[in-house]
Structure formats: structure tokens, C-alpha cells
Amino acid sequence: MTKPCIPYKLLFIGLCLFIFSSCIEEYLPEGSLSDQKLVAFAELEAGELSQIRVGSTFSSSQSEVALDHNLTIVKVINFENNNKPEEYRYDPNIDAYRTLTFRPNEGAIYELHFDSNIEGFKVITGRSQVPYKTEYDFLQSEVTTEIVTNSEGEDIGNFEIRLKIDVDKTETGYFHLIPSIDDQNTLYFDEIITNKNAIHVLQHRDGILIDKSKLNDANDLRFKLKTFGSFDVSEVESSYLKCKLRSVTEEYYEYHLATSRQSSTNAGPYTLPVTTYTNMANGYGIFATFSTVTDSLLIE
């Protein structure tokens, strides 16, 4: 079961009102650990090794709690393997917990446990079932580059892409599509031509989120992409436009939809608060899973 969405800006406003109303008191007590909760961020891909970032909530009056990595327990319960706990170990090089052996399987159910072993903090948990891969087809045999010179004199590559997701053969309801050139040059979405109501262009990550229930009967996606910087296809022997289609869980979709909306509304001081999604019991963060299919088109 998911936790209720939490409007962080409203919490911050409430905290400010509490502080200001307490100014007449002779003594303002320090915040206690009971005011804070643990946080975990984990996105596990089917067939791949993974890492998990953990910490605690913090505010203007409370610092993030320092974890003792020798005592902290981060594990994923593998229901597919007799409830075996898959242990994650802290790696200071990436400031995260990682596994060197565990690779999730499509269709399997897993549960994340994060225990700080610090008095006052509850163990937080989250559960997710790995979606099966969903195939898609490009509705074109190649992609033609249109070069446009921007105001800074750079030659920007423009591409129009058409593809169809095979939604009739999947139970997955949500997707994350990530285009790039040769897995190196990221692209941004310049225009969504079809199925606009089913698509959300992410503001904090590359790609778009897709809601299957809002796709039209044709299930076709047509959009225009642009390079971030100068692009000249003649400089290389061959380049490919690649699209990664992630089949994602509902919690993955809801979390990144909320985070993207936060990013887009943080531009000014008078924007309305945006709720933040979490599926972690007794804490905050996200435990989500996905599977990926990749295909490519030759750039002409």
C-alpha cells in the first residue's frame, strides 16, 4: 500500500509558522529524532545489478542524520528465492549501497528493507513487482536529420520519430521512453505530435513518461527531437538514434511524475505546492522496478 502524498512546501510553511509563533517563548527546544524519518531511493532493473541510496529527512533546523555504515542494514527480500535477503553493502566511491550478485527477474516480487539501527527510527519498507518487457516497433526504416542553425551559430540536429508500442501483449500500464544518439548524446523533446494527453515530458530526467490508459487506439507515438549541441552526421561513419523503452511500475511513474512537476514549478516563489509521492512504509522515498527494451535507427 502506498503512503499518502506529502506536500513538502506546506510542511515547510507550517514549520515556519510554528517557529514564528514560538518567538515569545524564553526557550525554543531543539528538534528530536522523532521529527525525522528515513528515506530510501531504489530503482531496480530486471537482469541488472543495482545501487540504493539511503538517508533521512532534514530541514532548516535539522541536519540529515549521519548513518553508521557498519550498523546500517539495506536488503531486498527475494520472495522468488524462499524469502532470501539480498544484502547491499556500502560503497564510499558512489556514496550508496550496492550489490555485486543480485539481479532481479521479470515478474518477481521484491521488498526493500532499510534499518539504520538508530534509536527512534523505524525500519522502512517498500514492495514492487518487476514488470515484463514490452516490445515496440519503429514506423520508419531510418531517420533523416534536419540541420538548423541556432542563435549561437550551432548546427542543431532535428529528428522526427514514429513508433508503436505493442500494448496489446503487455499488462504493463506505464512506460518511460529515453532517446539518445549512440548511447552518448542525449536528446530533448521539441514537440509531441500525437497522444499528447498520454505523455509527460520529464523536467528532471531524460525522456518521457507514457500512460497506457490514455493512448489512442492506434497506440502510435510521433514526436520531434533535438540535440542539445552541435551535431554533424558527416563527421562519423555511422550513427544510430536509440530508444530505450522502460516498462515501469505505477510507483515509478507516480514518483517521477510528481518529481518532474516539482522541478517545473520551482521557478518562482509564488508557485503552488506539488505533492511528492512515496511508497515507503514508515518513511519516504521510492522502491520501484522496471525492465528495458532497446532498438535503434540508422541516422541518414
In the predicted structure, residue 150 carries a pLDDT above the cut 90: no
pLDDT bucket at 60, cuts 50 / 70 / 90: confident
Distance between CA atoms of residues 81 and 118, nearest Å: 29
Beta bridge partners of 52: 42, 97
3-state class of 261 per DSSP?
helix
Cβ atoms of residues 137 and 163 within 8 Å: yes
Share of the chain above pLDDT 90, in %: 62
Go through the domains of the chain in sequence order and give each one's CATH number: 36-129 (2.60.40), 136-267+285-298 (2.60.40)
How many beta carbons lie within 10 A of that of residue 132, not counting itself?
A: 14
Q: Supply the mean pLDDT for the chain.
A: 85
pLDDT bucket at 276, cuts 50 / 70 / 90: confident
pLDDT bucket at 12, cuts 50 / 70 / 90: very low
Tell me which of 233 and 19 has the higher pLDDT.
233
Across the range 68-76, mean pLDDT stands at: 97
pLDDT bucket at 235, cuts 50 / 70 / 90: low
- Say which range, 45-59, 191-205, 216-230, has the weakest mean pLDDT: 216-230
- Among the listed residues 84, 2, 83, 76, the one whose alpha carbon sits nearest the alpha carbon of residue 258: 2
pLDDT bucket at 284, cuts 50 / 70 / 90: very high
Across the range 4-17, mean pLDDT stands at: 45
Q: What is the pLDDT of residue 17?
A: 40
pLDDT bucket at 176, cuts 50 / 70 / 90: very high
Across the range 274-280, mean pLDDT stands at: 83
pLDDT bucket at 242, cuts 50 / 70 / 90: very high
Q: What is the pLDDT of residue 170?
A: 83
Cβ atoms of residues 97 and 91 within 8 Å: yes
pLDDT bucket at 25, cuts 50 / 70 / 90: very low
In the predicted structure, residue 258 carries a pLDDT above the cut 50: yes
The number of helix segments (H) and strand segments (E) in the chain equals 2, 17
Per-residue pLDDT tens over the stretch 200-232: 999 999 999 999 999 998 889 999 999 887 776
Q: What is the pLDDT of residue 14?
A: 46
Q: What is the pTM of this model?
A: 0.84
Q: What is the pLDDT of residue 1?
A: 47
Q: What is the pLDDT of residue 34?
A: 58
Helix (H) or strand (E) holding 253: helix 250-265
